[in-house]
Amino acid sequence: MVMQAISLASAGEAGAGVENPERSLLVASLLTMSGGFLDAFSWLSLGGVFASSHTGNVVFLGIDAVSGQWRQAAHHLLPIVAFLFGATLAMRIRAPLRCLAGEIVCLAIMMPLLHRIPDMITIPTIAFGVALRSASFRQVEHWQVLTVAVTGNMLRAIDQSVLASDRGAARGGRIMFLLCLMFLVGAAVGGYATNWMGAWSLGLPIASSVCVLWLCRRHRHDPHRL
């Protein structure tokens, strides 16, 4: 059903998405699902910390700081700092596929080490990897999107829907709503898989990112196949 929705939304895809695979709806959908998955995983596995959606981390950082729980506050501060560093690096080097490979490496290293090394190392490493990817993939066709949160995409969806008389805006609204759904699906799958598989559930977002990497590299060799 989800893939059917992606196919419907992809019909008549604009040239920007075809010529640049990093901006395709399929790629954005896979990465957004991964974003939802990793938030559910980190919340359940790493003591109530978000790996990618840092609004929650900022809220808990403020609450913990005011109540004097400095250790717990640091628990939320570290992923924010790591995310900022990763995003800054990604924007400087401007190499989306290298950054995506960097995320894969970060997750693959942490998967067998989860709870064998301090969470103060695991959490920033995952956040850094997510930042590399999310800062590198921020556009579908000619619309700006977020693969790590839903609030911005929801607002953009409403904004595009208000301009529904414009055919392009209507398509933009559908894309934004679809990505919100992908994040929800990713979070649901992440919650279930984490409870069932534990640390090894990280293999799913790793596989998703590897799939995106393969799709983008394949397109560079054969531009008509994405």
Are 219 and 211 contacting, i.e. CB atoms less than 8 angstroms apart? no
Which pLDDT belongs to residue 19? 63
Query: Is pLDDT above 70 for 220?
Result: no
| pTM, full prediction | 0.86
Are 30 and 211 contacting, i.e. CB atoms less than 8 angstroms apart? yes
CA angle 207, 118, 59 (to 5 degrees): 80
Which pLDDT belongs to residue 91? 95
d(CA 51, CA 42): 6
d(CA 177, CA 172): 9
- What is the residue type of 95? A
Q: Cβ of 12: how many Cβ atoms within 10 Å?
A: 7
Query: Is pLDDT above 70 for 18?
Result: no
d(CA 71, CA 64): 9
Q: Is 124 exposed, middle or buried (0-12, 13-18, 19+ CB in 10 A)?
A: buried
For 84-94, what is each residue's pLDDT tens digit?
Answer: 999 999 999 99
Query: Is pLDDT above 80 for 80?
Result: yes
Are 25 and 144 contacting, i.e. CB atoms less than 8 angstroms apart? no
Which residue segments constitute the domains of the chain, with CATH numbers given? 2-9+20-219 (1.20.1250)
Parallel/antiparallel/unpaired status of strands 139-140 and 143-144 = antiparallel
CA 120 from centroid of its chain's CA atoms: 21
Query: Is pLDDT above 60 for 13?
Result: no
Which pLDDT belongs to residue 15? 44
d(CA 194, CA 204): 10
* Residue indicated by tokens 């064998």: 116
Are 130 and 36 contacting, i.e. CB atoms less than 8 angstroms apart? no
